Amino acid sequence: MTNAIPHHRPDWVPLAGHQLCVSGVNFDALRIQGVRGEQVAAALIDAAEGDAGPVVCEAVGFRWMYFLLAPGAARECEWPLGVQRFGAAAGRRTVAYIGIPALDGNTWPLRWYSEPTVTSPFVEAGRLRGVLGPVGL
């Protein structure tokens, strides 16, 4: 599902195919598995009236959905179980690479579920947190 708002290609989005980007540098990422990830992405897009910011979908394996937030934004909220956070954290030396597809062309097994736009270059952490519901769930 791609929104109808005009393309905006941040410099970390490749021109063709896909590439790995280090989380915590150009963006933080939250990862949610399978059907739950798809449901959260659909609810986020609905809550944002079609302009939710960048969400990447993997078409193979666990079918992860990656919600791309501004650098440092993933640590602004407490996230419920089942949501994995990838980003820079003080004192943490773990590096995570996130696959980023181009906006057009063959990018399999990755695709944009929601593209970055000029008005939403990143998923808004507070809006995503609201869509996910209470932390105890």
The model's pLDDT over 42-64, given as tens digits with 9 standing for 90+, comes to 999 999 999 999 999 999 989 99
Query: What is the rounded CA–CA span in Å between residue 13 and residue 18?
Result: 8
What tokens appear for 101 in the block? 């597809």
CA atoms within 13 A on the CB side of 128: 33
What is the residue-level pLDDT of the chain in tens, covering all 137 positions?
Answer: 544 566 689 999 999 999 999 999 999 999 999 999 999 999 999 999 999 999 999 999 899 999 999 999 998 889 999 999 998 765 455 678 999 999 999 999 999 999 999 999 999 999 999 999 876 44
Question: What pairs with residue 114 in β-bridges?
Answer: 55
Mean pLDDT for all residues in the chain = 89
Contact of 52 with 65, CB cutoff 8 Å: no
